[in-house]
Chains A and B, each alone.
Chain A
Amino acid sequence: MSLVTKSAKPIGHKRSLSDEMFITMLVASVAVGIFLLASVLVPNFFQWQNLINLVTNNWAVISLGIGVTFLLVSGNFDLSVGGIVALSGVLSVWFVQSTGGVNALSTGLGMPYWLGVICALGGALAIGGLNALFVVRFRIPSIIVTLGTMMVARGIAQVITQGSQRNTNLPDEFGFLGNLTMFGTSIRFPVVLMAFMLIVAVIIERKMVFGRITYWIGANPIAATLSGIDKAKHVTYLYLFSSGIAGVVGILLSSEFKSGYSNRGMLMEFDALVIALLGGVAIAGGFGSVVGMFFGAIILAVVTSATTGLTLSPDWQFILKAVAVFLAIMTQTWALARRNR
């Protein structure tokens, strides 16, 4: 069978806007629209600094959203990321705390910082491995599995911190990474890392075989297997990546606050899921993009910060979140149905 010949005549190649691009543009324009709306309604909202804050204040959730988006595209949930954030943060503190503190909570394992971080990351990956084991090997629905591992991860963190936090007896360098500002601006390392991961994720998603395989698996797992794709291996990688990102986020948050707090990252898994859904990622798999997720995060950030700006009670955010997701889902279904009519 002959392969690609360059001389193919240009029939049938009309690049139309794909559904994914369409939804991403839709989400992006909603994000811009809602930002403008908030600017009209909320005093002092329309400021350059505020726009930057929308992104920088949400670096953690956006980072988690990357792994969650890839898994959703492959047709799997990951609700364990919030628990992993707590676990890896607490582990990094516990590993690095020096030995011989005054009480149990101030006594750690006394590892050097770099080793502590690597081991903490190992803990995070172990949870990801557990997810993969249950989802891929035992074929248990991913939503159940990751709810369970979310509790296991947070549970371990709670046991290590005895239900509170560890923040003493830490070397100075522990607070370095999380608070490092870069490029002579106030932008901190975690935000830069998030931006870097976003770019890498977009490249993987759009340009790389790995990304494409994720879509194939999500679009039709049976056809993917019959086309020679090792689904088990790929989903395992995705869970490991997602938990790895969550591990990094947990470690950076611990560093920022110089403490390991077992309730950190609470409900972050739901926020990560919410921004992915807002960004047009389909829960059924095979559809969605990291860029969409990013704009989903912006929508959510505008909604939350506008409520604060309008001096509404913070309790409103739950309702607004619900309404935003509801509208997003209904609009996307409606828009796609219209388009494909």
Chain B
Amino acid sequence: MTNQQQSPVLSVEGLVKDYPGVRAVDDVSFSIERSTVHCLIGENGAGKSTLIKMLTGALQPTHGTMKVNGSVYQPNNTHEARGHGIATLFQELHVVDELSVLENLTLGMEVSRFGFFIKSDLEDRVIQTLKAIEPSIDPSARVSSLSVAQKQIIEIARAASSGANVIIMDEPTAALSEREVDRLFGVIRRLQETGVTVIYISHKLDEILNLGDTVTVMRDGKHIITKPLSEVSGRAELIELMIGRSAFQTHTPRTKISDEILLKAENLTNDLLKDVSFHIHKGEIVGFYGLVGAGKTEIARALFGADQVAGSISFKGQKVGRSPKHAIEAGIALVPEERRTQGLFTNLTIRENIPVMNLRNLSDYGIFRSADEVAAAIEYVDKLSIATDSIEKHTEKLSGGNQQKVVLAKCLFSDADLLLLDEPTRGVDVGAKTEIYDIIKDLADEGNSVAIFSSELEEVLGICDRIFLLYSGSLEEEFINSPDVDVSHILNVVTGGHEGAVL
């Protein structure tokens, strides 16, 4: 009818986002057609999340324009984006557990007079929207009684009934079971029929081949291609597009690995993990690689005793896994996934952060040797090149990379023989990344073992001696790292290739 109908629902032209020293998104242009499922793929660090943050108003582009229905669109926050009909399904759920489904769907949109609810077609409308996308959910049920997947559907329905015509979904299936994923796909297809456009971000290539209409591939901040999925031949082509010319740091095989087995885990099983068994040698750097939700953090926490799982873990011939305290005493240390909430004491100084995992080393009869504490702090600041003017600086004022180094220092100070590093370089700038890798290698050369749990392939290929591939809680494959590993095969495995076998 009008040209509004003809112009793409959303388009970006020459979009650039610069961070100090890094160009996260580099001159990206593409457009998204109405009522399609538009998939966005790329390796970690390819610039997907930065792009999405600009679309939702959480970040402002350095250059370039975004257009909604042909007119310029410059949101300053998520609320304004919502006003333009662009809603986001965040990874953490924003529903009120204590209210009913219907109350959640109408939250903030109620029709009222003098504060009293009045009859309107609002409820019928949202119920219809809900029924259209997922008839099995009872609108009067309490949200707390629903599963994660159902809560997600509630959020989708809320976005749809609030008039959003573009819904961005960032890894929506990370916490879902297979059956729930099927249901979500049904929901997305029905949404599409009602004229809603979905931007779908996922690492799971089967999902993308199964669900999407169009795919946009990003690599190193650049737009590689946008093409209909009907023209894509299969997983192999997508993987090819994502990795391009292999730019991976080549791994130089290390020689100092001993045959002695340091840790042996057998049949680890919990809600997610399925019978995971492996062992780690003395002096070895092993990598656990998999997507979000593949079970990396669960394995790390189980080894450290932070969560109890079925199965057995023996470390230097001794049973571990009872509690973090016990693990540390045995010689295992963990750098947790969330640095600020799980690793660091942000309102304490660098000096006060370092000794926490090894109190005996710094005290006699419960009394701190302050001079040694200062010396230790200075030593680690020096050794890990933590950029600070004083060891008395509060860690909350440090940059992400330096904060991570403090957490690392804390673990190094514990004199552990096995270091578990969960996403050790997430949110860390490139310079600090290399430094952290060097520290890890030095540690291993000194005879310690390191296990890296990472969702960055470049990271595990760059420094690990042996790599385990994980997919939805099971250990799919194990291989010795070498310069001629088959990257596309790895990506195939961790995106579910063993099961779907579309390759």
Contacts and interface: CB of A to CB of B under 8 A. Distances in A.
Interface string B280-305: 00000000000000000000000010
B372 A215 contact: no
B368 to A, nearest CB: 6
A207 B378 contact: no
B368 A209 contact: yes
B361 A12 contact: no
Q: Which of A4, A210, A216, A225 has the most CB of B within 10 A?
A: A4
Main secondary structure of the interface of A (DSSP, over half): loop
B381 A228 contact: no
B341 interface: yes
Contact of A12 (B336, B345, B390): B390
Nearest to A204: B366
A1 interface: yes
A227 B356 contact: yes
A286 B345 CA distance: 9
A1 B419 CA distance: 12
Nearest to B327: A228
Interface residues of B, number: 56
Instruction: Report the contact-size class of chain A (Cβ under 8 Å from the partner).
Output: 35 or more
Given A226-B306, A286-B345, A3 B361 contact: yes
Contacts of A19: 347, 394
Interface in A9-23: 9-16, 18-19
Given A1-B443, A13-B390, A209-B363, A219 B346 contact: yes
A15 B376 CA distance: 15
A223 interface: yes
A207 B352 contact: no
Q: Which of B334, B341, B349, B368 has the most CB of A within 10 A?
A: B368
A219 B345 contact: yes
Contacts of B334: 226
A220 B406 CA distance: 15
Q: Which of A3, A223, A225, A227 has the most CB of B within 10 A?
A: A227
Contacts of B414: 228
A4 B341 CA distance: 28
Interface in B312-366: 323-325, 327-329, 334, 336, 341-349, 352, 355-357, 359, 361, 363, 366
Given A1-B415, A226-B334, A228-B328, A216 B345 contact: yes
A224 B325 CA distance: 10
23 contacts: A1-B412, A1-B415, A1-B446, A3-B415, A10-B378, A11-B378, A12-B381, A12-B386, A12-B388, A18-B349, A19-B347, A208-B368, A209-B367, A219-B348, A223-B341, A225-B306, A226-B324, A227-B324, A228-B414, A229-B325, A230-B323, A230-B325, A286-B348
Interface of A: 1, 3-6, 8-16, 18-19, 207-210, 212-213, 215-216, 219-220, 222-230, 286-287, 340
